[in-house]
């Protein structure tokens, strides 16, 4: 990588994390009794998040070039917002497949002639969905698929799976638009699900939710990033 590319990466990453780092640093300095140990821990977290942002921005630079990135975010406020949201999501995520997938989505968004609504929707959804939500959505998809193997029955398999998930997780799934809420028909059986307000009336994993799961599961994570 050239020195210029390295400089672009460093500048971009510093700009992305400076605000959060300044706020955290100020808060720590203002608390009586906070010593060097606490400061070291916080700095370690900030360094780790900066490293994730650095890797994300670096991949974009490698794949589409810094000139394309800068041109896209300078000419289009929506692309700039998408880039910012995705980078913040990457910094806060512990899910490697999500970080790799977001890099592909953002690269496409920054280089396409027109910004696709689908790219924006994916970034917005994944800014909230992380490991705990993705795992829950995967379990719900499996329960729904199992339910469909028993036509003519009620939706107890899926409802039980819903009841096993945390309410806050279900609320996030509903808010990000990866599930259907309200009664839906199951296949050609003529049976309909019964919404339960205790599970936010979720009755199905929708096409968008299944698409995200398929895309995340298809990500090939390099061995060097599994540690």
Sorted by where each begins, the domain ranges of the chain are 3-126, 131-216
| Residue 88 vs residue 6, higher pLDDT | 88
159-215 confidence digits (pLDDT tens): 999 999 999 999 999 999 999 999 877 666 667 777 889 999 999 999 999 999 999
Q: What is the pLDDT of residues 12-27, one digit of tens each?
A: 544 454 444 444 444 4
Q: What pLDDT is recorded for position 226?
A: 41
| Alpha helices, DSSP H, located in the chain | 3-29, 36-64, 66-75, 77-92, 96-111, 117-126, 131-147, 156-163, 167-175, 207-217
Residue 81: pLDDT band with limits 50, 70, 90: very high
Q: Where are the alpha helices (DSSP H) in 164-219?
A: 167-175, 207-217
- Whether the per-residue pLDDT at 3 is higher than 70: the answer is no
Report the pLDDT averaged over residues 118-140: 97
For helices 36-64 and 3-29, what crossing angle results, to 10°? Answer: 150
Query: Could you read off the pLDDT of 50-73 as tens digits, one per residue?
Result: 888 888 888 898 889 989 999 999
pLDDT for 145 beyond 80:
yes
| pLDDT for residue 2 | 58
Distant-in-sequence contacts of 102-108, Cβ < 8 A, 24+ apart: 102/56, 102/126, 103/56, 103/59, 103/60, 103/63, 106/60, 106/82, 107/60, 107/63, 107/64
Out of 94-103, 187-196, 214-223, give the one with best mean pLDDT.
Answer: 94-103
Please check whether residue 173 is in contact with residue 209, taking contact to mean a CB–CB distance below 8 angstroms: yes
pLDDT of residue 19: 44
State how far the Cα of 80 lies from the Cα of 87, in Å rounded to an integer.
11
Number of residues that make up the chain: 227
Burial of 181 (0-12, 13-18, 19+ CB in 10 A): middle
């Amino acid at each position: 990588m050239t020195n210029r590319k390295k400089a672009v990466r460093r500048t971009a990453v510093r700009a992305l994390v400076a605000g959060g780092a300044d706020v955290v640093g100020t808060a720590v300095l203002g608390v009586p009794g906070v010593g060097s140990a606490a400061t070291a821990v916080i700095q370690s977290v900030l360094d780790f998040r900066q490293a994730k942002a650095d890797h994300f921005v670096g991949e974009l630079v490698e794949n589409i070039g810094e000139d394309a990135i800068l041109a896209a975010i300078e000419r289009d406020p929506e692309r700039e917002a998408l880039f910012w949201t995705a980078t913040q999501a990457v910094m806060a995520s512990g899910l490697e497949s999500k970080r790799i997938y977001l890099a592909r989505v953002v690269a496409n968004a920054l280089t396409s002639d027109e910004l696709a609504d689908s790219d924006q929707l994916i970034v917005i959804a994944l800014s909230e969905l992380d490991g705990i939500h993705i795992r829950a959505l995967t379990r719900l998809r499996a329960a729904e698929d199992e339910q469909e193997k028993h036509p003519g029955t009620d939706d107890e398999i899926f409802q039980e799976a819903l009841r096993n998930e945390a309410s806050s997780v279900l609320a996030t799934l509903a808010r990000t638009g990866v599930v259907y809420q309200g009664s839906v028909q199951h296949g050609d059986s003529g049976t309909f699900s019964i919404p339960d307000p205790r599970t936010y009336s979720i009755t199905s994993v929708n096409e968008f939710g299944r698409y995200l799961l398929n895309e995340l599961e298809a990500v090939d994570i390099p061995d060097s990033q599994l540690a």
